[in-house]
Amino acid sequence: MRDSRVGFGLLGAGLIAPFHARALQASKVAELVAAADLDAARLTRITDTFGCKGYSSLEAMLEDPAVDVVSVITPNHLHADAVLKAAAAGKHVLIEKPPAMSLREVDEMEAACGKAGVKACVTVQCRTRKAVQAIRGALAAGRFGKIYHADAYMKWFRSTEYYRSDAWRMSRRSGAGVTIQQAFHYVDLLQYLVGPAKTVEARMTNLAHPDIDVEDTLLSFVTYENGAQGVVQASTALWPGTDVRIEINGENGTAIMVGERVDTWKFREERPEDKEIRTYGSAAVQTGATGAADLGFQDHQVVIDDMACAILSGREPMIGLASVRPTLEWSLAMYLSAKSGAAVTLPLLDESAVW
């Protein structure tokens, strides 16, 4: 760390890398010092655009003392191996969602980071939105009363060219389906806000990408541990794509986030802060509905800045691996339910049956 700025190295120079790079450029506590990728052309685009060092392998980047944190933004099925290597080298890790493709891998990652004394954070950046934090605060204050329903509706569009842009995007086992690649963010918000799932029942189909062997549409019902029920509806087949909706309904209130803005904020008992909360967010902010690159970097920057501050202060980052594990378990349970045609009760006792 130089001048109280934490050095980040990007592992992966693909689609999401520029968003991490822009967030790091805008940060006052973190900086982009390096990137690594096996694809020389992709790597050059990042190093030339953002002025950082380039490495042809993770192993080479791990030898750079200026790299304090490895941002793991490789294809989903490669996350675990990279995290284990980075931890062994004494590097902190920032991991794109999903953290891994199995609970076993997440547990191994958690153990390895604990043993090495390094911090691990997961980029489920939607948690940081002001609308989400307002809902979480109202839940903690008991304003909703008993929660009846908690739902996520993600009606997005991705072209066939998006799936063909990388080989792994056409492989379910690599984590390319809508459930674990796109909807993971919003399943995570439901888990973060309302609590873990108890039972899930899911159906997965391919509506608009017949040449691609992954699900592009998910329909799922959930019963939460607290007794609430809900729906997860997610698709990348629905042109032109509309903003995601997160809906929380309780006996005493309803809150709805559309995109990143508060759309509905109504409680039986009004509070002084409610007028301001209704102004949170903007319809002008892109949140990924119409294309994979149609979003800003600001949410990423909040997570990155928090990770850097956690390292500088010695505290834990706000989105640790353990807090995201239940989201992965819920997602895997949906795959198992769709495969078996039956409801699945958590915890998953044998995740080997998922794929």
Task: Express each pLDDT in 252-307 by its tens digit.
Answer: 999 999 999 999 999 999 999 999 999 999 999 999 999 998 999 999 999 999 99
- Statement: the pTM of the whole predicted model exceeds 0.75: yes
pLDDT band at 214 (very low <50, low <70, confident <90, very high): very high
- Phi–psi pair at 29, nearest 5 degrees: -120, -10
Alpha carbons within 13 angstroms on the beta-carbon side of residue 81 total: 7
Tokens of 331: 């997602």
Query: Taking the domains of the chain in order of start, what are their residue ranges?
Result: 6-126+298-318, 129-291+328-340
Say how far apart CA 113 and CA 116 lie, in whole Å. Answer: 5
Say how far apart CA 350 and CA 334 lie, in whole Å. Answer: 14
* Superfamily, domain 129-291+328-340: Dihydrodipicolinate Reductase; domain 2 (3.30.360.10)
Task: Express each pLDDT in 102-159 by its tens digit.
Answer: 999 999 999 999 999 999 999 999 999 999 999 999 999 999 999 999 999 999 999 9
Specify the CATH number of the domain 6-126+298-318: 3.40.50.720
Alpha carbon separation from 279 to 2, 94, 134 (Å, rounded): 39, 31, 11
Residue 3 has pLDDT above 70, yes or no: no
Q: State residue 97's pLDDT score.
A: 97
Q: State residue 2's pLDDT score.
A: 52
Task: Give every CB contact of residue 53 below 8 A, 6+ residues apart in sequence.
Answer: 33, 34, 35, 47, 64, 66
CB 85 within 8 A of CB 110: no
Q: Mean pLDDT for the chain?
A: 97
**Residue pointed to by tokens 């899930």:** 200
